[in-house]
Amino acid sequence: QVQLVESGGGLVQAGGSLRLSCAASGRTISSYAMGWFRQAPGKEREFVAAVTWSGHRIYYSDSVKGRFTISRDNAKNTVYLQMNSLKPEDTAVYYCAADFWGPGADTPERYEDWGQGTQVTVSS
């Protein structure tokens, strides 16, 4: 099991940027696909981005493609989500998740370990 802690959330104006970090402990994430999901009030948790253990395959939801960038630093046991050109509809709690030897799936059920989330609020 890997423990995940997200940070970097906050309040930003539309058009601004934030960089989320997900620090892992307990196990190395080098054997894990890592994903970012988000959940807005009253809505289901939705896929944002994922990266395979090697970093060779990266996936984004259509709603964030071209604006968000997922990256990983296995040496630091950390995953990042750079979010640019933020929109009010990006407002949500953002969660980091780990899937042991996973394919970088877009379904939350695939992921075994989750962080507590970090709030991102984008004002118009």
Is the model's pLDDT at 74 over the cut of 90? yes
pLDDT of 16 reads: 98
Is the model's pLDDT at 90 over the cut of 90? yes
Q: For residue 113, which of 88, 89, 79, 64 has the smallest C-alpha distance?
A: 79
Q: For residue 37, which of 78, 6, 74 has the smallest C-alpha distance?
A: 6
pLDDT of 80 reads: 98
The percent of residues above 90 in pLDDT, for the chain, comes to 94
Cβ atoms < 10 Å from Cβ of 48:
25
Q: Would you place residue 104 in the very low, low, confident or very high pLDDT band (cuts 50, 70, 90)? A: confident
pLDDT of 106 reads: 93
Q: Which residues of 85-97 are buried (b: 16+ CB within 10 A; e: fewer)?
A: ebeeebbbbbbbb
- 3-state secondary structure at position 86: coil
Sign of the C-alpha dihedral, residues 38, 83, 58, 55? negative
